């Protein structure tokens, strides 16, 4: 196995115009997925031609350039990252930065379907924590939400991850009238297995087959309802992401709330995202982007790539403005979440 060389010395840190240090990179390694979650994709998706995708070697070079510029946390996502062919090669390659102390954390967000195959090998690569997305504990509901998902397989994946020693956090999108009667059970189930739980507000990204304004459930409402049953205490716990955490006195576990719609967390934003075609998005909620694939492919020394990253960071916007337009029902950001990976 050959990996591109050590990190070049002398690279500058990434500090945006608002003084925020960029230390967290999310990389989408594929736009494809073995599920078709109703809030994320339409049933008939057109995916990118394979030739447009960065190769695994290019993804390694790209991540390495960001690590050289001060990224301490790398999250691999998608689409479903574990359906990308030979994806373990990338984890193995990137694990050298963990061993060298240049990276604090290598992690991924997954729907869990491929974890029975890969959990052990991910742990061997130095992955310690993973996020598994799971919106329902009721198999028929799970099927309705994911359209193509297999509930049993995901449960086996979560078992495999815990057996491999990975710390699992469950992410659930709050969907009005779909899973909002399950949150107490989800708290009992996750905390009972030593897992944390994070709720995510549905974001208006990309065309889907249904009406988003029907599904939208503010987490302020979820939290208020949970407080009828559970004793929640705000805690300063941080994982480098945008979630705000509470501790549940009755279980000792944590619940995170990611509230892009009701609470603007942009002031502390430390992250940028790269798509599987090498497009850098400086903000999840804005369309401004920079192409890194051309500089990556035209200059083996990575000098042009480094310059393109610096130029893009100088344009990182102050914040986003997600709106679900109820008259037109159009998403405020036209790309799907599976492009930038959430």
Interface residues with ligand SAM (CB under 6 A) are: 33, 39-40, 77-78, 80, 109-111, 133, 171, 173, 200, 202-203, 205, 337-338, 341-342
Which residue, 78 or 295, has its beta carbon nearer to ligand SF4? 78
Please list the residues that pair with 6 across neighbouring strands.
Answer: none
**Residue 200: which of ligand SF4, ligand SAM, none does it interact with, CB under 5 to 8 A by kind?**
ligand SAM
The contacts of residue 317 (CB under 8 Å, 6+ apart) are 282, 283, 286, 288
Which residue, 30 or 190, has its beta carbon nearer to ligand SF4? 30
Rounded to whole angstroms, how far apart are CA atoms 95 and 52?
25
Which residue, 40 or 158, has its beta carbon nearer to ligand SAM? 40
The three-state secondary structure class of 6 is coil
Rg value, the chain, Cα: 19
The three-state secondary structure class of 282 is coil
**Residue 36: which of ligand SAM, ligand SF4, none does it interact with, CB under 5 to 8 A by kind?**
ligand SF4
Contact set with ligand SF4 (CB under 6 A): 33, 35-37, 40-41, 78-80, 111, 133, 338
Distances, alpha carbon 289 to alpha carbons 276, 282, 283, 314, in Å: 13, 7, 8, 12
* Beta pairing class for 105-110 and 73-77: parallel
The least CB distance from residue 128 to ligand SF4, in Å, is 21
The least CB distance from residue 179 to ligand SAM, in Å, is 11
The least CB distance from residue 145 to ligand SF4, in Å, is 8
Which residue, 111 or 136, has its beta carbon nearer to ligand SF4? 111
The least CB distance from residue 40 to ligand SAM, in Å, is 4
Give the CB-nearest residue to ligand SAM: 342
Largest CA distance in the chain: 59
**Residue 77: which of ligand SAM, ligand SF4, none does it interact with, CB under 5 to 8 A by kind?**
ligand SAM
The least CB distance from residue 224 to ligand SF4, in Å, is 26
- Which own/partner contact pairs does 280-283 have at CB distance under 8 Å and 24+ positions apart? 280/308, 280/309, 280/312, 281/340, 282/16, 282/312, 282/313, 282/315, 282/316, 282/317, 283/316, 283/317, 283/319, 283/320
The least CB distance from residue 280 to ligand SAM, in Å, is 17
Which residue, 22 or 33, has its beta carbon nearer to ligand SF4? 33
The least CB distance from residue 339 to ligand SAM, in Å, is 9
Which residue, 4 or 150, has its beta carbon nearer to ligand SF4? 150
Give the angle 339-266-105 at the CA atoms, nearest 5°: 65
Rounded to whole angstroms, how far apart are CA atoms 128 and 311?
33
Contact criterion met (CB below 8 Å) for 158 and 115: yes
């Amino acid at each position: 196995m050959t990996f591109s060389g050590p990190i070049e010395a002398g690279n500058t840190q990434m500090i945006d115009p608002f003084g925020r240090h960029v230390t967290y990179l999310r990389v989408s390694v594929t736009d494809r997925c073995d599920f078709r979650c109703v809030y994320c994709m339409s049933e008939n998706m057109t995916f990118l031609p394979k030739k447009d995708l960065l190769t695994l070697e290019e993804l390694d070079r790209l991540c390495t350039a960001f690590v050289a510029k001060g990224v301490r946390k790398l999250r691999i996502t998608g689409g479903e990252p574990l359906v990308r062919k030979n994806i373990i090669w990338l984890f193995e390659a990137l694990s050298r930065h963990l061993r060298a102390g240049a990276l604090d954390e290598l992690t991924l967000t997954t729907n869990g379907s491929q974890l029975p195959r890969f959990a052990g090998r991910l742990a061997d690569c130095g992955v310690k924590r993973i996020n598994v997305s799971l919106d329902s504990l009721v198999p028929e509901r799970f099927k309705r939400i994911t359209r193509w998902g297999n509930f049993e397989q995901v449960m086996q994946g979560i078992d495999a991850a815990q057996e491999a020693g990975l710390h699992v956090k469950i992410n659930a999108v709050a969907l009005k009238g779909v899973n909002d009667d399950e949150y107490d059970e989800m708290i009992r189930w996750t905390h009972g297995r030593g897992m944390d739980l994070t709720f995510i507000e549905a974001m208006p990204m990309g065309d889907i087959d249904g009406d988003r304004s029907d599904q939208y459930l503010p987490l302020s409402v979820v939290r208020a309802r949970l407080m009828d049953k559970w004793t929640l205490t705000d805690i300063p716990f941080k994982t480098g992401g945008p979630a705000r955490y509470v501790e549940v006195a009755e279980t000792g576990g944590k619940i995170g709330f990611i509230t892009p719609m009701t609470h603007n967390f942009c002031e502390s934003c430390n992250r940028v995202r790269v798509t599987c075609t090498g497009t850098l998005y400086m903000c999840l909620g804005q369309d401004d982007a920079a192409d890194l694939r051309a500089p990556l492919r035209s200059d083996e020394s990575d000098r042009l790539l480094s310059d393109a990253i610096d130029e893009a960071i100088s344009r990182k916007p102050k914040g986003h403005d997600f709106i679900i337009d109820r008259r037109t029902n159009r998403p405020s950001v036209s790309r799907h979440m599976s492009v930038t990976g959430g």
